[in-house]
Amino acid sequence: MNLYIRYFAHEAFVKSVEEAADFLRTIPEIKVEQSLINRINAFYIGTSIYPYHLKVSFNNYVIIIKSDAQSMEEFKDQQKKREEQKNDPKHTGVMSDRRRTIQDILNEPRPGWYEASLTFKRVVLIPETSKFQYKDTLFRVRLKAQSAMDCYNRIVDHLRNRQDVDSRSQFPSSKSSNFYYTYLGETLDNVQSSVQAPQTVQQDEEADLKDLIPESKRTFSEPGLFD
């Protein structure tokens, strides 16, 4: 799987997360930190097929799209054909079939262990202004679930019931690029974590999802939020 990356007039077609990071380093206004590389990696290894909007400043985003194309030219040809099909009445039923397929995948029974991350908009108090604002917050966890949808629901239910997560916080759709999951199997024998944890995360000692492995880390990507 390759990646198409665009930031305003800058664009590239790369074949790895490392190449993506190297490309972003050539753009002066983007600060490439380990947490940013981890977000790209989570999207790259995740199951989402939707374009990913990587936030790099207050209101600027890098667009990242997965593609099986082998070059920039092939990718753009594919995009052009998709646009033509999108505007063709003969293909109006194709998109609805695709959406149903994504939901079917999420609902497919697959009991076992999952490793998942969810980026949600958390309401946070700003001490300097005594006002609240939404802040993108990443939550990572390993847990047992009956399906990918069950995995998503259990994470959201857990976060909604936490006393340190404001009830006004907003959670993304299970089909969005802000929810990633990897099925680890019925057991965790000889399984290593496939989601790289940011270097600056703080372990959340209070999280207590049922069936979590004892040594798992339930982490938020914003250090200090739970001091």
Q: Are 198 and 35 in contact (CB under 8 A)?
A: yes
| Residue 123 and residue 205 share a domain | yes
In angstroms, the Cα distances linking 188 to 192, 193, 199, 222 are 8, 10, 24, 28
| Residue 58 and residue 116 share a domain | no
Q: Are 25 and 32 in contact (CB under 8 A)?
A: yes
Q: What's the pLDDT band for 117 if we cut at 50, 70, 90?
A: very high
| Number of domains present in the structure of the chain | 2
Mean per-residue pLDDT, 206-226: 37
Note whether residue 79 is domain-resident: no
Q: What's the pLDDT band for 193 if we cut at 50, 70, 90?
A: very low
Q: Is 27 helix (H, G, I), strand (E, B) or coil?
A: coil
Note whether residue 10 is domain-resident: yes
| Residue 214 and residue 116 share a domain | yes
| Residue 133 and residue 59 share a domain | no
Per-chain mean pLDDT for the chain: 79
Q: Which of 88, 94, 4, 87 has its CA nearest to residue 44?
A: 4
Q: What's the pLDDT band for 93 if we cut at 50, 70, 90?
A: low
Note whether residue 178 is domain-resident: yes
Residue that wins the pLDDT comparison between 215 and 20: 20
Q: Is 127 helix (H, G, I), strand (E, B) or coil?
A: coil
Note whether residue 76 is domain-resident: no
Q: Are 202 and 220 in contact (CB under 8 A)?
A: yes
Rg (CA), the chain: 19
| Residue 119 and residue 210 share a domain | yes
Residue 68 has pLDDT above 70, yes or no: yes
| Residue 205 and residue 136 share a domain | yes
Note whether residue 78 is domain-resident: no
Q: What's the pLDDT band for 83 if we cut at 50, 70, 90?
A: confident
pLDDT at 97: 54
| Residue 123 and residue 29 share a domain | no
Q: Tell which of 10, 35, 67 closes a domain.
A: 67
Note whether residue 116 is domain-resident: yes
Residue 95 has pLDDT above 70, yes or no: no
Residue 188 has pLDDT above 60, yes or no: yes
| Residue 126 and residue 203 share a domain | yes
| Residue 118 and residue 205 share a domain | yes
Residue that wins the pLDDT comparison between 101 and 154: 154
What is the distance between the alpha carbons of residues 129 and 113, in angstroms, rounded to a whole number? 42
Mean per-residue pLDDT, 62-82: 91
Mean per-residue pLDDT, 218-224: 40
Tell me which H or E stretch contains 82.
helix 72-86
Q: What's the pLDDT band for 191 if we cut at 50, 70, 90?
A: low
Note whether residue 86 is domain-resident: no
Note whether residue 188 is domain-resident: yes
Q: Which domain holds residue 137?
A: 112-220
pLDDT (tens digit per residue) in 11-64: 999 999 999 999 999 999 999 999 899 999 988 888 888 889 988 887 889 999
b (16+ CB within 10 A) / e for 27-51: beebebeebbbbbbbbbbebebeee
**For the ranges 92-106, 126-140, 159-173, which has the lowest average pLDDT?**
92-106
pLDDT at 104: 84
| Residue 205 and residue 120 share a domain | yes
| Residue 143 and residue 60 share a domain | no
| Residue 116 and residue 42 share a domain | no
Q: Is 73 helix (H, G, I), strand (E, B) or coil?
A: helix
Residue with token string 């991350």: 117
Q: Which of 55, 38, 60, 52 has its CA nearest to residue 3?
A: 52
Provide the 10 A C-beta neighbour count for residue 15. Answer: 11
